Structure 1
Amino acid sequence: MTVQRLNPGPRMSDAAIIGDIAFLAGRIPTDLTGDITAQTREVLDAIDAVMAKLGGSKADIASVQVWLADMADFPGMNAVWDAWVDRENPPARATCGAALARPGMRVEMVAVARAPR
Structure 2
Amino acid sequence: MTVTHLNPGPRMSEAVRIGDIVFLAGQIPQDMSAGIEAQTEQVLAGIDRVMAALGGTRADVASVQVWLSDMADFPGMNAVWDKWVDPKTPPARATCGVALARPGMRVEMIAVAKLPG
Normalising by structure 1, we get a TM-score of: 0.97
Mapped to 2, the partners of 1:3 and 1:115 lie a distance apart of 14
Partner of 1:43: 43
Aligned-pair RMSD on alpha carbons?
0.9
Task: Tell me the residue number matched to 1:107.
Answer: 107
Aligned residue-pair number: 117
Runs of 4 or more off by more than 4 Å in structure 1? none
Instruction: State how far apart, in whole Å, the 1-side matches of 2:62 and 2:105 are.
Output: 25
Supply the distance in 2 between the matched residues of 1:16 and 1:115 (Cα, whole angstroms). Answer: 12
**Which string of whole-angstrom CA distances, capped at 9 and with x for unpartnered residues, describes residues 53-103 of structure 1?**
010100000000000000000000000000000111000000000000011
1:113 to partner: Cα distance: 0.3
| Structure 2 CA distance for aligned equivalents of residues 12 and 29 of structure 1 | 17
The CA distance in 2 between the partners of 1:100 and 1:73, in whole Å, is 14
Q: Which segments of 5 or more consecutive residues in structure 1 lack a partner in the other structure?
A: none
Identity over aligned pairs, percent? 73
Q: Structure 1 CA distance, aligned partners of 2:30 and 2:98? A: 18
Q: How does 1:30-69 map to 2 (within 5 A)?
A: 30-69=30-69
Query: Unmatched 5+ residue regions in structure 2?
Result: none
**Partner deviation per Cα, 1:25-65 (whole Å, 9 max, x = no partner):** 00001110100000000000000000000101000000000
For residue 2 of structure 1, report the CA deviation from its aligned partner.
2.7
